[in-house]
């Protein structure tokens, strides 16, 4: 086992013709630049515009930070692999990529639950909203999301760092996902799989339950509003967040929950683009479109 042990992996990437790889490189580079610019714009507007100094926009700016982390963790290395037709990553690089990706995704999962609760309080208990969602409480909630996300991921990372990997060390993908690493491990993976199950289950189901319950009460409250104008205004404050929640959970569900046996590797790579490229790109667009406050803040800057 020691003789066959390896400390680096070769990622095959997309395995397309060089001309296609160059086209994909240019396309994803543009997407990455738009993602960074869009999310930085959101963060800047929320920081500088007084009209956006509210809990909802504070949470949106934190989501943008998470999207920048996910995109920057994944896309630059994918671009390198595309340009070279494959590429080598050390074990440390793979573990680091996994740590920042998983930590950011757990953070966003928790943050989306907090944002759902924020919308619930705004619509179902508006008289107490300014007290419940005051700045100190919002800061505490966001800090807990960051700490939980990266603390739990640290436990995964420490356990993964103890694994032994043997040749062949080839990963037919453009990223170092933990699922691919576990397939290449020649030591026992039971402990880390149990960690994922024991810690991962509540991290997924508790925020999901908060989101479902919050929006159930929101829908019931909105339906009790007599005027159509009032209903439309209430739904409009939640529509953007609901779209982002749907995209986030459906992408992770498709990639990690839907059985992959028999699934084409090329399809697995395409699905992985949903959370590495697509979601961080569209989130700032979703929150900007149909949002009068953000569009007004953009006009003030221009």
CATH number at 281 reads 1.20.1070.10
Tokens describing residue 225: 């509003």
What pTM value is reported for the model? 0.91
Lowest-pLDDT choice from 24-28, 31-35, 139-143, 163-167: 163-167
Q: What is the mean pLDDT of residues 89-103?
A: 92
Runs of H (alpha helix) within the chain: 18-48, 55-84, 91-124, 129-132, 135-161, 178-184, 190-223, 228-252, 265-273, 279-288, 292-301
Integer CA distances (angstroms), 129 to 59, 232, 288, in order: 15, 20, 23
Decide if pLDDT at 134 tops 90. Answer: yes
Better pLDDT: 238 or 119 = 119
Tokens 């397309």 — which residue?
Answer: 16
**Predicted local confidence at residue 281, as pLDDT:** 93
Domain contains 202: yes
Give the pLDDT of residue 227: 77
Total domains, the chain? 1
- Answer yes or no: is 141 within a domain: yes
Between 47-51, 196-200, 247-251, 260-264, the lowest mean confidence (pLDDT) is in 260-264
Look up the domain containing 90 and give its range. 8-301
Establish if 27 belongs to a structural domain.
Answer: yes
Q: Say which range, 177-181, 251-255, 261-265, has the weakest mean pLDDT.
A: 261-265
Ranked by mean pLDDT, which of 94-98, 118-122, 143-147, 213-217 comes out on top? 143-147
Most confident residue range from 9-13, 85-89, 138-142, 158-162: 138-142
Phi, psi torsion values for 90, nearest 5 degrees: -75, 165
Asked whether residue 1 is assigned to any structural domain, the reply reads no
Using pLDDT thresholds of 50, 70 and 90, give the confidence band for residue 262. very low
Mean pLDDT value of segment 221-243: 79
**Does 3 map to a domain?**
no
Q: For residue 255, is pLDDT > 80?
A: no
186 pLDDT higher than 70:
yes
Q: Mean pLDDT throughout 9-14?
A: 86
Q: What is the mean pLDDT of residues 183-205?
A: 88
User: Which residue(s) pair with 32 in the sheet?
Assistant: none
Tell me, what's the pLDDT at 61?
Answer: 95
pLDDT of residue 294: 84
């Amino acid at each position: 086992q020691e003789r066959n042990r390896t400390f680096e992996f070769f990622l095959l990437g997309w395995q397309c013709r060089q001309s296609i790889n160059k086209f994909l490189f240019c396309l994803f580079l543009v997407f990455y630049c738009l993602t960074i610019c869009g999310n930085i714009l959101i963060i800047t507007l929320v920081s500088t515009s007084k009209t956006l100094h509210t809990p909802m926009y504070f949470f949106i700016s934190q989501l943008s930070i998470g999207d920048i982390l996910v995109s920057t963790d994944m896309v630059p290395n994918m671009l390198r692999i595309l340009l070279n037709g494959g590429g080598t990553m050390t074990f440390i690089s793979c573990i680091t990529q996994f740590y920042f990706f998983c930590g950011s995704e757990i953070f966003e999962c928790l943050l989306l639950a907090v944002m759902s609760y924020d919308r619930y309080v705004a619509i179902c208990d508006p008289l107490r909203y300014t007290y419940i969602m005051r700045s100190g409480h919002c800061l505490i909630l966001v800090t807990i999301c960051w700490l939980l996300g990266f603390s739990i991921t640290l436990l995964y990372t420490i356990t993964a760092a103890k694994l032994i990997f043997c040749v062949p060390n080839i990963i037919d993908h453009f990223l170092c996902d933990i699922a691919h690493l576990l397939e290449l491990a020649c030591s026992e993976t039971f402990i880390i799989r149990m960690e994922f199950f024991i810690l991962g289950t509540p991290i997924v189901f508790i925020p999901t339950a908060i989101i479902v319950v919050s929006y159930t009460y929101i829908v019931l409250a909105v339906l009790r509003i007599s005027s159509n104008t009032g209903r439309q205004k209430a739904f409009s404050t939640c529509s953007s967040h609901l779209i982002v929640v749907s995209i986030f959970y459906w992408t992770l569900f498709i990639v990690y929950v839907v059985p992959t046996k028999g699934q084409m590797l090329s399809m697995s790579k395409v699905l992985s683009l949903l959370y590495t490229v697509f979601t961080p790109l569209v989130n700032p667009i979703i929150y900007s479109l149909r949002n009068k406050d953000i569009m007004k803040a953009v006009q003030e800057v221009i």
